Structure 1
Amino acid sequence: MATAALITIGDEILSGITVDTNSSFIASELKKIGIPVKQIFTVSDDTGSIKSAMKSAFDIADIVFTTGGIGPTKDDKTKTAYAEFFQDKLTLDEETFHHLKQLLIKRKREHLLEINKGQAEVLSKAKIIQNDNGTAPCMMIEENGKTAICLPGVPFEVKPLVAEKIIPLLTEKYQLSPIVTRIISVVNFPESLLSETISDWELALPEQISLSYLPIGTRIKLRLTAVGNDKEALENELNDQISKLKPYIEGHVIAWDGNEIQVILKEILSGRNLTISTAESCTGGEIAKLITGVSGCSTTFLGGIIPYDFHKKIEILGVSPQTIEEKTVVSAEVAQEMSLGCQKLFKTDISVSTTGVAGPNTDEFNNQVGEVFYSIRVKDFEQTNRLFLPHLDRKDFMFFVAQRVLQDLVEILVKENG
């Protein structure tokens, strides 16, 4: 089985200024074709550090990806490191230069051609894969049975290069075994207790099937991965093993196949022709962002509102001023009135609302930082919950609450249909 290692290059990654999203994307794409990632390295824009990481990566893997450090500025050292590592030289590639010229003309930046000319310099022994979305090409170097793939660092350039060009090349090059994955979403079942409960079933799994526990908030994703030579046989084996698992966890499962909670929700809503709207205060649109991140959501999501100021809760959603005065804006009663007003405003089957204090400072009513109430309304049914999350920073608070609201909604819909 071919294996891979990833090297992320950039001082901005090490300093925490930029988050490395490329590694997770590349690893997930490789997993789909049965190439596991053995290790991920992060190094500075330094020739020696890059070369050292490449040596370590090739010691443990057949394929090494590097991202970043191939721009036009002096701090981009990756191509120099590649040239030294492979004892090669950089030469101007005419096809790449023509591609660069056409790209700059298209962007009305042809005046930048001369100072970007170095982008067309590549290793003489490299296979060049043109970058349709940027000025830096991808280089692939094969030596001693190993493969190095040099990618730019900009995510919107990396994704199409990997998904549309690199993955097909690797699939053709290596004899890859089919890989089949199923993700089961379990709720209201602590991870340690879940592990103990399904221990006998887990120990009896055939060797070609592996199990991973992936907690996200209060949901545990059980990921079953099967690797073999016959994809249909693997799918049948997974189905058989899941049938054996059901008696252990039935009643705690909100999806027998599905990774992201917003995707699971969209499938349920579409299947039942239900519509949804959102009224978010402390989550600042995070719930709507999750829902609208799924293709095809326009058939189910009719709209959302962020009535952050309490006056807008009154003016737009019809929240009672007396309720706010008596209970404060962070209360079950306000959350309930918000979801009702939202349901009426957008004329949806379902509405959800959030009101709380994300922090780090308290609000004008001096409510506790980390407290949140959220209301879920499904037609005439309504459920309100409270969370207290003072340990989470503002961004993590918003994300956790948004995930939890959608998870609770899915639970309600699953029970309703059960």
Structure 2
Amino acid sequence: MKNAILITIGDEILSGNTIDTNSNFIAKELKSIGISVKQIFTISDELESIKSCLKTALENADLIIATGGLGPTRDDKTKKAFVEFFNDNLVLDEETYQHLSKYLQKRKRQHLLELNVSQAEVLSKAVVFQNDFGTAPCQMVKRNGKLVFSLPGVPYEVKPLIKDKILPYLKEKFELDSIFTRIVSVVNVPESILVERIANWEDHLPSHISLSYLPVGNRVKLRITASGKDFSQLENDVETQIHSLLKIIGDNVIATYEDKIEKILGEILTERKLSISTTESCTGGEISKLITSVSGSSQYFLGGIVTYATQKKIDILKVSKESVAKHSVVSEEVALEMARGGQKLFGTDICLSTTGVAGPSKGEDGKDIGTVFYSIRINDVEKVSHLYLPYMERTDFMNFVAQRVLQDLVAVLVQNH
């Protein structure tokens, strides 16, 4: 199997001001064609840092993909570093220049600035891949049979370059193994116990099949990956292993194809013709966001409401003042009443509710940061749960709770089917 190293170039990544989404995307795409990523480097936009990283990468991988540092600004130094490292010089590429002219004219730019024109200058030894969604092209340089790509850093430019141009080139260039992956989602089994329960099964996996554990909330995603020449055979081999696995932990498995909980839920709700609504407080609409991220969710999601203020819980969801006074707004009783009120408001089969303290300060009723109560109401059957997550950053807290609520709902629906 060929292997790759990814290099992300940019001070904005190192400072934390920008999140590196390119590496995650590229790694997944490479894996889909049988190329594994063995290392990911994030480095500053400095000549020596770039050259040093290129040297290390070429010593350890067959393929290097660098992103960033190719904009029309004077502080971008990637191209210069490539020129020095590969002992090359820049030449004006006519095809790139024409592409650049047409691209900017479409954006009402009649004259190219000197900085823009410089983006049509490429290494004389490079193979050029035109960037249909930006101004800086992708360049590829060969050394000792290894390939080094330099891409711009903007994600919406990186994605089509990778999918439409680089991947097809690599598939034609290399004789690559096929890779087939399935996800088995397991709930209500701690990871350490799950490892013990399936240890014998894991020990007897064929050499071309590997297993990874990916915990998410109260769910563990088991990623089963097979690699080889015959894709159909890989599918059969993985299916055989999953069949054996289900004999061991089948009661705790909620899906064997999809890995996103919101999609798993969507398939169940669609199949059973169930409707759902949400009444959120501490999760701030995160549950609704997850549900509606799925195409076709309008078939089952009727609506959601964020009643952040206590009075709005009372006014809109008809939470009783007595419950708030006696138990506080962050309580089991209020979570139950929120779900009842939401179910009545939207007329749904299912309603989910959350109330808690996301931080960074205590709640208005003095409850500790990280305290959460959530309720799942299915028709007339209701369940309330309590979490305590005191050390999570606010946005991580919201996402974790939202994931947990959906995972619990899926587990209930699967177990009661």
Give the TM interval when normalised to the shorter protein. Answer: over 0.9
Higher mean C-alpha displacement, 44-53 vs 150-159? 150-159
Greater CA drift, 297-306 or 359-368: 297-306
* SS across alignment from 2:196: helix
Deviations 1:370-415 (A, max 9, x none): 1011111222221111101001111111111011001001101101
Alignment correspondent of 1:119: 119
CA contact (8 A) 1:178 1:231 kept: yes
State the match for 1:216 in structure 2: 216
Equivalent in the alignment of 2:108: 108
Within-5 A mapping of 1:112-261: 113-261=113-261
RMSD (Å) for aligned C-alpha atoms: 1.6
- Give the deviation of 1:57 after TM superposition: 0.8
Cα deviation digits, residues 331-360 of structure 1 (max 9, x gap): 112111212222222222222111111001
The residue type equivalent to 1:265 in the other structure is: L
Retained in 1: the 8 A contact 2:73–2:115?
no
Which deviates further from its counterpart, 335-344 or 181-190?
Answer: 335-344
2:70 corresponds to 1:70: yes
d(CA) in 1 for partners of 2:132, 2:351: 42
> 2 CA distance for matches of 1:66 and 1:394?
33
- For 2:316 and 2:95, the matched residues in 1 are separated by 59
Distance (Å, rounded) in 1 between the aligned partners of 2:372 and 2:2: 48
Distance (Å, rounded) in 1 between the aligned partners of 2:337 and 2:29: 44
Superposition deviation, residue 303 in structure 1: 2.1
Range moving further from structure 2, 200-209 or 11-20: 11-20
- Post-superposition shift, 1:124? 1.9
Answering whether residue 117 of structure 2 is matched by residue 97 of structure 1, we say: no
Could you tell me which runs of 5 or more consecutive residues in structure 1 were left unpaired when the two chains were aligned: none
- Aligned residue in 1 for 2:272: 272
CA deviations over 1:292-313 (Å, ceiling 9, x no partner): 2222222222222211112222
**SS of aligned partner of 2:416:** helix
Q: What does residue 288 of structure 2 align with?
A: 288
The offset of 1:322, in angstroms, is 2.5
Distance 1:327 1:227, change over 3 A: same
Do structure 1's residue 315 and structure 2's residue 315 form an aligned pair?
Answer: yes
Task: Classify 1:16/1:132 alpha carbon distance in 2 versus 1 (closer, same or farther; 3 Å).
Answer: same
Partner Cα separation in structure 1 for residue 113 and residue 386 of structure 2:
58
Asked whether the 8 Å contact 2:101–2:112 carries over to 1, the reply is no
Distance in 1 (CA, whole Å) between partners of 2:329 and 2:68 is 47
What amino acid sits opposite 2:197 in the alignment?
A: T
Check 1:59–1:388 CA distance in 2 against 1; reply closer, same or farther (3 A cut). Answer: same
Q: Which residue of 1 aligns with 2:27?
A: 27
Partners of 2:2 and 2:60 in 1: CA distance: 11
Q: Which amino acid aligns with 2:339?
A: S
Number of aligned residue pairs: give it: 417
Q: Deviations over 1:68-118 (max 9, x none)?
A: 111111221111111111211122222222222322232334466444222
TM-score by length of 2: 0.96
Identity among equivalent positions (%) equals 60
More moved, 337-346 vs 21-30: 337-346
TM-score, normalised on structure 1? Answer: 0.96
* Structure 1 residues 302 and 131, CA gap change in structure 2 (3 angstroms): farther
Conserved in 2, the CA contact under 8 Å of 1:104 and 1:113?
no
